[in-house]
Amino acid sequence: MDKYTEDKQLVKDFLDGDERAFKKIADKYSRRIYWHAFGMLNDHFEADEITQTVLLVLYKKLNTFNFESSLYTWIYKITATRTLNYLRKKKIKSFFSIDSDNVKEMYSKENIILDVERSEKLEKVGEILNTLPTKQREVFIMKTFEEMTYEEIAEVTGKSVGGLKANYFHALKKITEKYNEEE
């Protein structure tokens, strides 16, 4: 059974009342949702919140999914939109809040990786990603970590392939320069 047919069957089973089917969908996609959100926000608690919200949306809205795109693209679209909205709200909040930097400092040290070395690496990647503008960061995460094609990213973000390539190029350039600075 291919990925598309498998997802279709899981959605059908869930809509027929099988809760285990939703559990399978959640287990299958929650990691991707989480890591996309974490890459964008660089904060475990916020990524956790986004993941839970997206899964709850799926639970409520799966009956509206019409299989015009793949389930993965649909989920990713919800995730990307929710994450961007969260980032916008966060920017507005931080504009009005004096203590936001302290709060950010406290939370950003948390992640779900228990191994210290890996945790440090994750922190370093997070710092580098944080230097990128939102659009470049989004494309970079989808292309590098999720290994999505430009066409898939275009479907999720609604942007042109040419624009996405340019964004990815600029993201790569900044990351390389950052690495060069550190050496």
Minimum distance from CB of 10 to other proteins (Å)? 13
Q: Which of 3, 4, 56, 101 binds other proteins (CB under 8 A)?
A: 56
Please, which residue, 22 or 86, has the CB nearer to other proteins? 22
Residue 76 makes contact with other proteins by CB under 8 A: no
160 counts as binding other proteins under rule CB under 8 A: no
Exposure pattern of 141-170 as b/e (b: 16+ CB <10 Å)? bbbeebebebebbbbbbebeeeebeebbeb
Token reading at 41: 């926000």
CA 54 – CA 7 distance, rounded (Å):
17
Q: Which of 61, 88, 93, 121 binds other proteins (CB under 8 A)?
A: 121
For 166: left if phi > 0, alpha if psi spans -120 to 50, otherwise beta; the answer is alpha
In this chain, which of 9, 52, 85, 160 binds other proteins, going by CB under 8 A?
Answer: 52
Q: HSE-up of 79 (CA within 13 Å, CB side)?
A: 30
Q: Does 14 bind other proteins (CB under 8 A)?
A: no
Cα–Cα distances in angstroms (integers) from residue 100 to residues 42, 56, 75, in the given order: 15, 28, 30
User: Which positions touch other proteins (CB under 8 A)?
Assistant: 19, 22-23, 26-27, 30-31, 34-35, 39, 48, 51-52, 55-56, 59-60, 112-115, 118, 121-122, 125, 128, 144-145, 150, 165-166, 168-169, 172-173, 175-177, 179-180
